[in-house]
Structure 1
Amino acid sequence: MEDRKLTVRAVERALDILMCFTEATDLGLTEIAAKIGLHKSTVHRLLTTLEERGFVIRNAATEKYRLGIRIWELSTHMSRNEDPAVLLLPLMEKLRDRLGETVSLYIRDGDERIRIQAVQSMQAIRRVATVGARMPLSVGASSKVLVAFASTAELELLKKGPELQALADDETYWRQLEEIRAKGYATSYEEREPGAAAVAAPIMNHKGEITAALSVSGPVSRLSPETLHEFAPIIVEAGKEMGMLLP
Structure 2
Amino acid sequence: MQSKNKTVVRSMEILNLFINHAKLTFNEIIELSGIPKTSVYRMLQSLEEMGLLDKDANGKYSLGILFLRFGHLVSERIDLRQVALPAMEKLHQDLGEAINLIIRDGDEAVYIEKLQSIQPVRLYTTIGRRTPLYAGACARAILSFLPPTEREDYLKRVELTAYAKGTITSEEALRHSISETRNKGYTVSFSELEDFTAAVGVPIFNHLGEVVAAISIAGIETNYTEEHLAVFIPKAKEAALDISLKLGYRPEV
Identity of aligned residues (%): 39
Q: CA RMSD in A?
A: 2.4
- Name the CA distance, whole Å, in 2 between partners of 1:165 and 1:100: 31
Per-residue Cα deviation, 1:162-192 (whole angstroms, up to 9, x for no partner)? 3469989732321221111111100011122
User: Is 1:92 aligned to residue 93 of structure 2?
Assistant: no
In the TM superposition, what is the alpha-carbon distance from 1:156 to its structure 2 partner?
Answer: 2.6
- Unpaired runs of 5+ in structure 1? 1-78
The residue number in structure 1 matching 2:155 is: 159
Structure 1 length-normalised TM: 0.62
Q: How many residues align?
A: 169
The residue number in structure 1 matching 2:232 is: 231
The residue number in structure 1 matching 2:13 is: none
User: Is 1:171 aligned to residue 177 of structure 2?
Assistant: no
Asked which structure has the greater CA Rg, the reply is: 2
Structure 2 length-normalised TM: 0.61
Equivalent position amino acid for 2:138 in 1: S
The residue number in structure 2 matching 1:108 is: 104
Equivalent position amino acid for 2:173 in 1: T
- Name the CA distance, whole Å, in 1 between partners of 2:160 and 2:196: 25
Gap change, CA 1:97 and 1:130, over 3 Å in 2: same
Equivalent position amino acid for 1:148 in 2: S
Gap change, CA 1:229 and 1:191, over 3 Å in 2: farther
Secondary structure of 1:138's partner? Answer: coil
- Structure 1's consecutive aligned runs of 4 or more residues displaced over 6 angstroms after TM superposition are 165-169
Gap change, CA 1:152 and 1:120, over 3 Å in 2: same
Secondary structure of 2:222's partner? Answer: coil
- Name the CA distance, whole Å, in 2 between partners of 1:138 and 1:176: 10
In the TM superposition, what is the alpha-carbon distance from 1:91 to its structure 2 partner?
Answer: 1.5
In the TM superposition, what is the alpha-carbon distance from 1:101 to its structure 2 partner?
Answer: 0.3
In the TM superposition, what is the alpha-carbon distance from 1:143 to its structure 2 partner?
Answer: 2.1
The residue number in structure 1 matching 2:193 is: 192
The residue number in structure 1 matching 2:218 is: 217
User: Is 1:136 aligned to residue 132 of structure 2?
Assistant: yes
Mapped contact 1:81–1:87 kept (Cα < 8 A): no
- Name the CA distance, whole Å, in 1 between partners of 2:115 and 2:161: 33
Per-residue Cα deviation, 1:214-238 (whole angstroms, up to 9, x for no partner)? 1000112322244234311111111
- Unpaired runs of 5+ in structure 2? 1-74, 163-167, 249-253
Mapped contact 2:155–2:171 kept (Cα < 8 A): no
